[in-house]
Amino acid sequence: MKDILTARWMVQMIHTADNMYFHGWDERNGGNISLLLTEEEVKDYISGEVIRTIPLNFDAKEIIGKYFLVTGTGKYFKNVKYDPAANLGLIRIAQNGVDAELMWGYSDGGRFTSELPAHLMSHIARLAIDPENKVIMHCHPTNILAMTFIHTLDEREFTRTLWQMCTECIVVFPDGVNVLPWMLCGTNEIGEATAEKMKTSRLVVWSLHGIYGAGKNLDETFGLIETAEKAAEIYMKIAHLPRVNTLTDEQMHLLEDRFGVKGREGYLD
């Protein structure tokens, strides 16, 4: 059996968690990541023995048998690189659909993030649209969070503001940004609402809280959030100032043509 800490996906997960903490997106034990893996990807790194079973508090029958590398509850992202086995866990969705089988990790007796049901709901929603989706990432980017205090939460207007801040935004997230009003975190209700929003956008803002992102791999998902956060940072720096210049809808249509993307229907004039 190979050393699991040398697996490419493990190295990427550790690096991503560390980078997210470095960016200030995951203070204390804030934020969580789940990475969908195939049996082929994990089989050389685990014995196949179930260490223990952990209730999901959610029926994940659509993804029975799937493997996920998941950050732990109460864990600090800054510590992942120092002790991956305590801060991360590799789970498999049990055949009953309502339990997770721990295959590796949570070595201190811990368990997966309390947001895992929300993650799994979003995985299911995104997989129905894009079978290559592998990642759900939740964090608390400072400027996106700040923006929800002063900007209308109308999804079209929120998206248009972000698109106008950076030339690359409409290219990186042409599907726009969906926004939820404040909801109690750690509940199935916010998970269900997020999954519904994930059907039309890979970015879902949790007002006064943070953001959820989805993507095909860790780099893509990180970059998606990073781009939106950069746009929000620019907005927060200029929101109180008169805007002399801005990206126009005509210019964004030129970007659509140049990069072969299509902005969300009805979001550009």
- Cα→Cα distances 149→140, 141, 153, 185, 196, Å: 14, 13, 9, 18, 23
Q: Decide if 1-113 and 115-264 have a common fold.
A: yes
pTM of the predicted structure, to 2 decimals: 0.95
* pLDDT, averaged across the chain: 96
- pLDDT greater than 90 at residue 1: no
Average pLDDT for residues 15-20, to the nearest whole number?
A: 97
- pLDDT at position 186 over 90: no
115-264 fold: L-fuculose-1-phosphate Aldolase (3.40.225)
Domain boundaries, the chain: 1-113, 115-264
Averaged pLDDT for residues 166-174: 97
Q: Tell me the Cα Rg of the chain.
A: 19
Strands (E), the chain: 32-37, 52-55, 67-71, 88-93, 99-105, 135-139, 178-180, 203-206, 210-215
C-beta separation of 113 from 199 below 8 A: no
Average pLDDT, integer, range 229-233: 98
Average pLDDT, integer, range 30-48 = 95
Give the Cα separation of 203 and 122 in Å (integer).
Answer: 11
Closest by Cα among 162, 140, 123, 154 to 247: 162
* pLDDT at site 57: 86
Can 39 be counted among the known catalytic residues? no
Average pLDDT on 95-121 reads 94
- How does pLDDT run across 18-33, given as a tens digit for each residue? 999 999 999 999 999 9
Pair of tokens at residue 257: 């043509």
* Residue percentage of the chain with pLDDT more than 70: 100
Class of domain 1-113: alpha beta
What is the average pLDDT across 240-264? Answer: 96
pLDDT score of 268 more than 90: yes
pLDDT value of residue 179: 98
- Of the residues 101, 115, 229, 233, which is catalytic? 115
CA distance to 133, 189, 214, 224, 249, per residue, from 220 (Å)? 10, 27, 8, 6, 26
Which CB contacts under 8 angstroms, 24+ apart, belong to 244-249?
246/164, 247/163, 247/164, 247/165, 247/167
d(CA 74, CA 56): 16
222 pLDDT tier (thresholds 50, 70, 90): very high
